[in-house]
Amino acid sequence: MKKVAFGTLVKLLKGKKHNPSIQRSTTSKRFIQIDDLRNDKLVKFTDDKSGVEAHQNDLLIAWDGANAGTVGWGLNGYVGSTIVLIRLKEPDQWHTPFLGFFLRSQFNTLRANTTGATIPHLSRISLDNLQVPDISLDAQRQIAHILSRAEELIAARQQTLALLDDFLKSTFFDMFGDPVNNKKGWKVEKLEKCLTRIDSGWSPVCLDEVKQSDEEWAILKLGAVTSRYFKSNENKKLPDSLRPRPNIEVRKNDLLFSRKNTRELVGACAYVFDTPPGLMLSDTIFRLVHDQNVRGQYLWYLLNGSKFRKSVQALASGSAGSMPNISKERLANLKIPLPSLDLQSQFAEIVNRVEALKAQQRESLTELKHLYQSLMQRAFAGQLDVSRVVLPALPTAESPKPKRTERPNTSLKPDSDNLPAQLPLGWDFPNAWQQPPMQREQSPASTLDNLILKHGQGLRILYSPVPATDGIRDLVLIPAHEPERPVPTLDTLTTVLSQAGPVPFEMLRRELGTVAYTNLKRLIFEGLEQGEIYQEFDDETNTAADSLTQGRILLTVTPTPIT
């Protein structure tokens, strides 16, 4: 395969620091920093009009720092310091995403050749000397298309995991209410009333390596708990000279609690769904051993919940401001709401089932990442046959705007996309179909409520690939063609749905009540999992909507039938 030096194809322009605007005006423009190459979570604007401006066809690469070598493209805005803009000399000969994926495939090479004593800086010479496969523009687009699809699948898996987290949080809220104001009036007890004891661990000086076998012993590091999910590989091997202490070995169903960390992370709590043998508590990790009146999964979500965490964090003391501690005594005196054991058990069952799904998701995500790396290596080594890849039509000035109701192109979905459905039909939410609908006046939303109650499991949600207005995507409910389910006629459905109009999710939750809302969420999770629904960007807060329960996503229902 003929190759060409990367440096001959591009010119480089270094960015500069921009002062962010306090208030975004009509003349403000986005400026791009390293984090923006990975996500759009915090978009910043500036009125400083000097500097290098990136456009859609430019590549961007982080030049300095720990993330040097990170590549992005498709961004518009001024380029911040530590980022270099890469502009194509012949944009009609080279496809920007193809070169972007090529640079990503060369990440290790670039990192291996950085300069600088403390902070890595990319080497211009190394970048210029990278050898790019010299292939046709169509072949470039086909490779970029395949790799983009692989990235989308990875993103979809990550998003599903986040949504399952959100689902459990909102289920907790639905079942137990706000634990801070306790409007449901649950009995309030000191935590010590529910605990038989609080175990603490041991922190001998360990080896700076992770234990490798079940026969070896190790001490957990704080990182095993910090994320609120138990990470068994966060450990340090016990030296052979020290005898293990089986009484502080971590066991399945343990509830672990970090007594010490920064203000933000102190009191993080992790539930152990599974663990290898031979892991012991460190002296900064407590084990909360509870009695029969409380379920560990309930305590886990209670203590980690964003609202109740403030009460937990308030327990921390210590004059070292950066490193507060929570003592056993203070923790034992923490007052908690204590719902009925029956309700806690229902919640624990849901947690167990969702966590099982998440385990599948994580496994799938790992496989997808391996697949992506393999695809990338083969693509740039000329070992990938892309001749049969059908590309989506290029938008032209003459081509009509796609219809709102056009189905997404799924013809290129690889096999890995046919993984088990994450929330399969028939998924049994607690009492979801047993409770009678709440009585209320007939509003469009309550009409939708009744409709979903009656036909919810016979519906699916599709999205319109083109934003309707202001970036809000239309969602359309259609029958799922399941013979065993009642299927409403499309006419009836579209008539009813057309009255619903734009409905914020938070309002839906209030209007529909738990029953219909839970079912609607299930439908939406499926849509997200299948890539048929996307979250929108919230322009006011400059954040991507990351929760279905915070009212940031608008559900716009249109009467347009699916073709």
Partner DNA sequence: GACCTAGCATGCGACGGAAA
Partner DNA sequence: TTTCCGTCGCATGCTAGGTC
Residues 6+ apart with CB under 8 A from 447: 496, 499, 500
Nearest to 465, CA basis, from 562, 389, 387: 562
Taking residues 459 to 488 in sequence order and writing x for each that binds DNA by CB under 7 A, - otherwise, the string is: ------------------------------
Nearest to 160, CA basis, from 535, 544, 554: 535
CA distance 476 to 183: 36
CA distance 65 to 177: 44
Give the one residue of 1, 5, 116, 184 binding DNA; rule: CB under 7 A: 116
Which CB sits closer to DNA, 70 or 457? 70
Segment 201 to 230, residues that bind DNA, using CB under 7 A: 202-203, 205-206, 208, 221-223, 226
DSSP H helices in 40-131: 96-105, 107-112, 124-129
Site membership for DNA, residue 171 (CB under 7 A): no
Please tell me what DSSP assigns to residue 37: G
Give the one residue of 46, 282, 304, 518 binding DNA; rule: CB under 7 A: 282
Cα 97 to the chain's mean position, in Å? 23
For residue 199, give Cα distances in angstroms to 58, 99, 302.
Answer: 56, 55, 20
Which CB sits closer to DNA, 115 or 352? 115
Site membership for DNA, residue 259 (CB under 7 A): yes
What token pair was written down for 500?
């619903």
Which CB sits closer to DNA, 238 or 336? 238
The DSSP-derived string for 261-295 is S-TTTTT-EEE-S---SSEE--TTEEEEEE-TTS-
Site membership for DNA, residue 328 (CB under 7 A): yes
In our burial notation (b when 16+ CB lie closer than 10 A, e otherwise), range 28-46 reads: bbbbbbbebbeeeeebbbb
64: helix, coil or strand?
strand
Smallest separation (angstroms) from DNA to the CB of 529 = 29
Site membership for DNA, residue 443 (CB under 7 A): no
Q: Near DNA by CB under 7 A, which window of 195-203, 461-469, 524-532, 533-541?
A: 195-203
For residue 28, give Cα distances in angstroms to 24, 25, 44, 73, 434.
Answer: 6, 5, 10, 21, 53
Site membership for DNA, residue 284 (CB under 7 A): yes
- Expressed in angstroms, the distance from the first to the final Cα of the chain is 44
Which CB sits closer to DNA, 103 or 475? 103
Site membership for DNA, residue 29 (CB under 7 A): no
Which CB sits closer to DNA, 325 or 560? 325
CB-CB contact of 117 with 335 (8 Å): no
Smallest separation (angstroms) from DNA to the CB of 242 = 12
Which CB sits closer to DNA, 259 or 522? 259
Inter-residue long-range contacts of 463-470, CB under 8 Å, 24+ positions, other chains counted: 463/408, 463/527, 463/532, 463/533, 463/534, 464/404, 464/405, 464/406, 464/558, 465/402, 465/406, 465/408, 466/401, 466/402, 466/403, 466/404, 466/406, 467/536, 468/404, 468/556, 468/558, 470/539
Q: Report the amino acid identity of residue 333.
A: N
Which CB sits closer to DNA, 59 or 354? 59
Site membership for DNA, residue 430 (CB under 7 A): no
Smallest separation (angstroms) from DNA to the CB of 24 = 17
Give the one residue of 28, 57, 67, 416 binding DNA; rule: CB under 7 A: 67
Q: Near DNA by CB under 7 A, which window of 254-262, 358-366, 507-515, 533-541?
A: 254-262
Give the one residue of 314, 323, 356, 421 binding DNA; rule: CB under 7 A: 323
Site membership for DNA, residue 313 (CB under 7 A): no
Which CB sits closer to DNA, 64 or 536? 64
Q: Inter-axis angle of helices 505-529 and 444-455, to 10 degrees?
A: 40
* Binding footprint of DNA, residue count (CB under 7 A): 53
Site membership for DNA, residue 66 (CB under 7 A): yes
Site membership for DNA, residue 417 (CB under 7 A): no
Cα 450 to the chain's mean position, in Å? 32
Phi, psi for 269 (deg, rounded to 5): -130, 135
Which CB sits closer to DNA, 66 or 155? 66
Pairing type for strands 543-544 and 459-463 reads unpaired
Site membership for DNA, residue 22 (CB under 7 A): no
Give the one residue of 3, 89, 124, 335 binding DNA; rule: CB under 7 A: 124
Site membership for DNA, residue 149 (CB under 7 A): no
Site membership for DNA, residue 366 (CB under 7 A): no
Site membership for DNA, residue 64 (CB under 7 A): yes
Q: Near DNA by CB under 7 A, which window of 182-190, 260-268, 270-278, 303-311?
A: 260-268
What token pair was written down for 227?
């994320």
Smallest separation (angstroms) from DNA to the CB of 126 = 9
Give the one residue of 49, 121, 307, 310 binding DNA; rule: CB under 7 A: 121
Taking residues 72 to 111 in sequence order and writing x for each that binds DNA by CB under 7 A, - otherwise, the string is: --------xxx-x---------------------------
Site membership for DNA, residue 325 (CB under 7 A): yes
Q: Inter-axis angle of helices 137-176 and 296-304, to 10 degrees?
A: 110
Q: Enumerate binding residues for DNA (CB under 7 A).
A: 12-14, 17, 33-35, 64-67, 80-82, 84, 115-119, 121, 123-124, 200, 202-203, 205-206, 208, 221-223, 226, 236, 259-262, 264-265, 282-284, 317-320, 322-323, 325, 327-329
